[in-house]
């Protein structure tokens, strides 16, 4: 019975992590990619014109804090939950 519990927990964590990563990618594409680029490197005409920083590969917790504290992100900050921002940050950290 104990083994079944461990297997269930492993299953849930594995698939929720994959769903969270997929959610992070979708949320990023919808809310962030227009300025920061599809790969988070801000190597787009809009990103260069606005001097947008690259955000791929950074620490996830630091990314969430930066988004919440940056005045340019007020609209996004109000629109997205902490969980959604964490999903985006996790996706970016993996790039």
How far are the Cα atoms of 15, 42, 43, 44, 74 from residue 37, in angstroms, in the given order?
27, 5, 6, 6, 19
Residue 69 is part of which domain span?
2-94
Q: What is the pLDDT of residues 48-64, one digit of tens each?
A: 898 988 999 888 989 99
* The pLDDT value given to residue 44: 87
Cβ neighbour number for residue 71 with a 10 Å cutoff: 6
* The pLDDT value given to residue 47: 87
Instruction: Tokens for 15, please give them.
Output: 């698939």
Instruction: Tokens for 17, please give them.
Output: 């992590």
Q: What is the pLDDT of residues 4-45, one digit of tens each?
A: 443 444 444 444 444 455 699 999 999 999 999 999 999 988
CATH of the domain at 89: 1.10.760.10
- Whole-number Å distance between alpha carbons of 54 and 15: 29
Instruction: Tokens for 88, please give them.
Output: 């985006």
Domain count, the chain: 1
pTM: 0.73
């Amino acid at each position: 019975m104990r083994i079944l519990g461990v297997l269930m927990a492993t299953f849930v964590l594995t698939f929720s992590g994959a769903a969270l990563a997929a959610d992070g990618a979708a949320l990023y594409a919808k809310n962030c990619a227009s300025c920061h680029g599809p790969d988070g490197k801000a190597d787009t005409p809009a990103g260069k014109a606005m001097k947008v920083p690259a955000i791929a590969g950074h620490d996830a917790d630091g990314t969430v804090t930066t988004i919440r504290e940056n005045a340019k992100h007020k609209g996004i900050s109000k629109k997205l939950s902490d969980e959604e921002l964490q999903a985006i940050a996790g996706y970016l950290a993996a790039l």
